[in-house]
Each structure stands twice: as structure tokens, then as C-alpha cells.
């Protein structure tokens, strides 16, 4: 089973906790998902991420109206990430720099240093006030993402025999009052790598759309139109948005978010259920039938095979590419007609 891309490999993706609710930030998509319950998939609402709040290395929330976006060695504090309200920028104290994960819980800040297996707790990341370090409990060391609320710390676990789960504890050092929950499919769909888990790994393959034969003893002049489907199955694929309330700009069009998630999934390596291809230059308009005129001559007792490349998830076709290949070989072409994706490490 494919896995979720970890925070270290997915720039701009992070989790936050506010009161008893959660956020998943997808800076690469310019939005974040709010939920009241990841296990049951409740209250799922997508909000725009203000341009000034995009591109962060880490995201965390102190409370319902205090959010931190860490970029390099400084942080931006805002009261609303969709509007960039009350913005203030400060430098991180040197002891608070370079963390692998940042979260806020119990009114304090926690910085996880995975290589040392510890977390640093402080009441002020710019001053490193009241700082103390603790070892991470062995059960709490392998989180892909960490976040916190008023009473608990959480982390998303790597894939296991029971699928993708998240862990809750009131102490990352002792792992007390701990529970583990599965993640709802509607939440998984928003995560990098999630589509491969809910719909099946991405595939890319050549489909034979036409065979032209000349069984006669003389050359055959063939002049006709062939029909091919080109584009994205937007109306079907965007169904993953149906259980999300979209609270973005008034110009938002249904399917745009799913398109971005699909492009990202196709770009991932097979380890994360992708195809390692860049599909940006393909047509992402609603798939339609198009005609192409052909004018060719077939020699006696020969065949011409016409192939089209398509991409999808599981058993479902998603994207029909423009390019066709004409070949006398009855076997599918071995080439991939798309550029390689630039995703280092994933």
C-alpha cells in the first residue's frame, strides 16, 4: 500500500490544532482544510490561504486566533491565515531554529528534533523562555506530521497494517492517555499521497484506439478521421470535493482543487502511489471527443496501430493525453510521453 508523503518531503504541508479542532495546510495548493474530527471526517471545510501566509516551512496554531508560519529562522504570526490579519514577524531564538516539527499544545510550544530524539518546550519561541528538553517516547518518534490542541498532542503515523492512523497522547515523553485512530477517507484525499490510498495507485498506460489493416495484395491509401478523447474527467473526479465545504473565493470553480491534488499525485514516485510525471502541460479541461484527420498508405499485408496515453487512479481513467503514436508493432510503446516530475525524494 502506498504511503502519505512525510513533512520532510512535502514543503508547505503541515497540520495545526486549534482548541479541539484541526487544520491541514496545503500551501502548494493555496488552501487549508478545517475539521472537527479527522476520524469521522466531520466539519470538513476548505479555506483559502492568503498569499503572505503561503510558502511556510512549518505551520502551527496557539489558539483559534493565533497562527504561526515559520519560514527559515523567522515566523509570521497572524490571527487569520485566510486574510493575513494582525500580521507580525519575529526572529526565532537560536535554540528554537532548525526543528523538524513544530506544534503548540497546553499553551506552550514544542519543537521536535528527530535526529536527537528529543523535543524542546518553551513558552516563547523568540526568547526561548522557560525552555526544557525531554526525550521523545519510543512510540512518539516516527510521526509524519505533529500537531497539538489545548489538551493533547497528535501525530500522523506511517502506513501500517491497519492503514493510515493518527496517535493522540497527553505527553510525548511518557505517551500517557494514548489512543490511535484511523483517518477518514475524505481527510486522506486532502493529504499528499492520499489519493493512492483511497482510489488506488496512479497508473499510466498506452491504450490502443485504432487498428488499420491492409490484407490485400496492393498498397492501401487510407484517408479518414479518427476520434480520441482528450482532457480530464473533471465531473467524475471532482466528486472527492462533495464532502468538503468549499469556502474559498467567489471565483472558485468546482474541480480546480481536485485537479491540483491529482497533478501532485501523478508527480509522486511509485512509493507514494504516483507515476513520477509532470502533467502541467496537458489539457485539464473537461474531457471531450476530438477528431484528427489521417492520410496514410499501408503496404500489402501490414497493419498500423494507433496508441493514446492515459493516466488514472486504481481502475479509473482520469487524464487522456493529446499525443498519439502510430506504430506497426502490436505491443504498446515503451516510451512515456510526459516529462519527469521534479520531486526530489518522493
How many other C-beta atoms are found inside a 10 Å radius of the C-beta of residue 89? 11
Q: What percent of the chain has pLDDT over 90?
A: 84
The H helix count followed by the E strand count for the chain is 4, 22
pTM of the model: 0.92
Please state, rounded to an integer, the average pLDDT across all residues of the chain.
Answer: 94
Mean pLDDT computed over 147-154: 95
225-284 tens-digit pLDDT? 889 999 999 888 888 888 899 998 755 677 889 999 999 999 999 999 999 999 999 999
In this predicted structure, what is the pLDDT of residue 343? 65
How many other C-beta atoms are found inside a 10 Å radius of the C-beta of residue 185? 16
193-215 tens-digit pLDDT? 999 999 999 999 999 999 999 89
In this predicted structure, what is the pLDDT of residue 293? 87
CA nearest neighbour of 285 among 231, 332, 210, 226: 231
How many other C-beta atoms are found inside a 10 Å radius of the C-beta of residue 144? 25
Helix (H, G, I), strand (E, B) or coil at 8: helix
In this predicted structure, what is the pLDDT of residue 224? 85
Please check the confidence at residue 1 and state whether its pLDDT lies above 70: no
In this predicted structure, what is the pLDDT of residue 19? 84
8 A C-beta contact, residue 324 and residue 334: no
Please check the confidence at residue 173 and state whether its pLDDT lies above 70: yes
In this predicted structure, what is the pLDDT of residue 344? 54
- Complete edge-to-edge strand list for the sheet that includes strand 88-91: 58-63, 66-71, 74-78, 88-91
Please check the confidence at residue 319 and state whether its pLDDT lies above 80: yes
CA nearest neighbour of 4 among 40, 42, 38: 38
38-89 tens-digit pLDDT? 999 999 999 999 999 999 999 999 999 999 999 999 999 999 999 999 999 9
Measure the CA–CA gap between 4 and 10, rounded to whole angstroms: 10
Measure the CA–CA gap between 140 and 172, rounded to whole angstroms: 6
What structural domains does the chain harbor?
10-191 (2.110.10.10), 202-327 (2.60.120)
- Joined together, the cell numbers standing for residue 24 give 491541514
Confidence of residue 222 (pLDDT cuts 50, 70, 90): confident
8 A C-beta contact, residue 59 and residue 69: yes
Q: In terms of C-beta density within 10 A (0-12 exposed, 13-18 middle, 19 or more buried), how is residue 227 classed?
A: exposed
Measure the CA–CA gap between 225 and 232, rounded to whole angstroms: 22
Confidence of residue 345 (pLDDT cuts 50, 70, 90): low
Mean pLDDT computed over 220-226: 87
In this predicted structure, what is the pLDDT of residue 34? 96
Q: Which residue has the cell 505551520?
A: 59
Mean pLDDT computed over 320-337: 94
In this predicted structure, what is the pLDDT of residue 238? 82
Q: In terms of C-beta density within 10 A (0-12 exposed, 13-18 middle, 19 or more buried), how is residue 223 classed?
A: exposed
CA nearest neighbour of 46 among 21, 66, 19, 26: 26
Helix (H, G, I), strand (E, B) or coil at 236: helix
Amino acid at each position: 500500500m502506498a504511503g502519505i508523503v512525510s513533512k520532510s518531503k512535502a514543503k508547505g504541508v503541515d497540520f495545526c490544532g486549534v482548541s479541539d479542532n484541526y487544520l491541514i495546510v496545503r500551501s502548494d495548493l493555496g488552501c487549508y482544510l478545517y475539521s472537527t474530527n479527522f476520524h469521522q471526517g466531520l466539519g470538513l471545510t476548505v479555506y483559502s490561504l492568503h498569499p503572505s501566509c503561503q510558502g511556510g516551512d512549518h505551520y502551527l496554531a496557539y489558539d483559534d486566533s493565533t497562527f504561526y508560519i515559520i519560514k527559515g529562522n523567522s515566523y509570521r504570526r497572524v490571527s487569520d491565515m485566510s486574510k493575513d490579519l494582525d500580521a507580525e514577524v519575529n526572529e526565532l531564538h537560536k535554540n528554537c531554529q532548525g526543528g523538524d516539527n513544530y506544534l503548540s499544545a497546553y499553551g506552550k510550544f514544542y519543537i521536535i528534533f528527530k535526529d536527537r530524539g528529543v523535543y524542546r518546550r518553551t513558552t516563547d519561541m523568540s526568547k526561548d523562555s522557560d525552555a526544557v528538553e525531554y526525550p521523545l517516547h519510543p512510540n512518539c518518534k516516527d510521526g509524519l506530521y505533529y500537531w497539538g490542541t489545548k489538551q493533547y498532542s497528535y501525530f500522523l503515523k506511517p502506513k501500517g497494517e491497519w492503514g493510515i492512523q493518527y496517535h493522540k497522547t497527553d505527553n510525548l515523553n511518557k505517551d500517557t492517555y494514548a489512543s490511535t485512530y484511523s483517518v477518514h477517507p475524505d481527510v486522506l484525499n486532502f493529504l499528499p499521497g492520499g489519493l493512492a490510498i483511497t482510489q488506488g495507485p496512479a497508473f499510466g498506460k498506452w491504450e490502443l484506439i485504432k487498428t488499420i489493416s491492409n490484407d490485400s495484395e496492393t498498397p492501401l491509401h487510407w484517408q479518414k478521421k479518427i476520434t480520441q478523447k482528450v482532457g480530464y474527467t473533471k465531473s467524475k473526479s471532482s466528486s472527492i470535493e462533495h464532502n468538503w465545504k468549499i469556502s474559498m473565493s467567489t471565483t472558485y470553480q468546482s474541480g480546480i482543487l481536485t485537479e491540483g491534488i491529482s497533478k501532485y499525485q501523478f508527480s509522486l514516485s511509485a512509493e507514494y502511489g504516483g507515476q513520477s510525471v509532470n502533467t502541467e502541460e496537458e489539457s485539464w479541461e473537461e474531457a471531450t471527443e476530438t477528431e484528427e484527420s489521417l492520410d496514410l498508405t499501408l503496404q500489402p499485408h501490414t497493419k498500423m496501430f494507433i496508441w493514446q496515453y492515459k493516466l488514472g487512479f486504481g481502475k479509473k481513467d482520469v487524464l487522456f493525453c493529446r499525443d498519439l503514436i502510430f506504430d506497426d508493432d502490436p505491443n504498446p510503446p515503451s516510451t512515456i510521453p510526459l516529462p519527469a516530475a521534479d520531486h526530489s525524494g518522493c
